Amino acid sequence: MSSCPICECSASVNEFGRWGRRLRVSCPRCGDFIITDWVIYLLTNNSSINALWRPKLSHWIRKKQLAGEEVKIDSNNYESILNEATLPSAMEQSDNLILWLGSALKRSEEIIDINPNYIAAVIGATDEKGVEYIASHLVEQRLIKYSMREKTSNREANLTSVGLTLDGWGKYKELKQGGRAIGFGVKPEQ
């Protein structure tokens, strides 16, 4: 297993291409995308790029996948992508978590295990702590049930059990009726 050049999570990375190396990446956080070696070099060696480029780009990739687009990042488009990539507000992140949960849960009473680091790209948080911040507020509003399990080793993912409350299902329905949708292809932990 290699590392994702965007978020640095463990990912499947396959090299291809004759002129200029390209990487086909399948990442549990960012999703599936193609990126050139040259763009990776530019992103990681340019001090003028905002420090939040990794979470912004990770979230941007997930949003494009929701729209059904194949994501290719190369020297022709990376600057416009960086200008376009933004992180949503805390309220939008809250809505994104509720929408993702509603689409991931199979039954109203179900509780699923997630990796908060992977869900960060889905909702648009910068990292695991951002997911925990959003989740704690949704718990206070009684929209979700959320409990974190301690890691037993450094190699283990920080799993979290999460589900929607009855009020959370009401909020999910309200968001969907308002035209919001989210899929982002992140599956609950098995």
Transcribe 64-114 into DSSP letters.
Answer: HHHTTPPPEE-TTTHHHHHHH--PPPHHHHHHHHHHHHHHH-SSTT--EEE
**What was the pLDDT predicted at 190?**
41
What are the Cα distances from residue 53, in Å, to 18, 50, 57, 58?
A: 28, 6, 6, 8
**What was the pLDDT predicted at 181?**
59
> Which CATH topology does 90-177 take?
Arc Repressor Mutant, subunit A (1.10.10)
**pTM score, whole prediction:** 0.84
Does residue 187 surpass a pLDDT of 80? no
In the chain, domain spans: 2-84, 90-177
Give every strand in the sheet of 31-36, ordered side by side.
2-3, 10-16, 22-27, 31-36, 72-73
- 51 or 56: which carries more pLDDT confidence? 56
pLDDT tens by residue, 146-186: 887 665 555 445 678 999 999 999 999 999 988 765 554 55
**What was the pLDDT predicted at 130?**
94
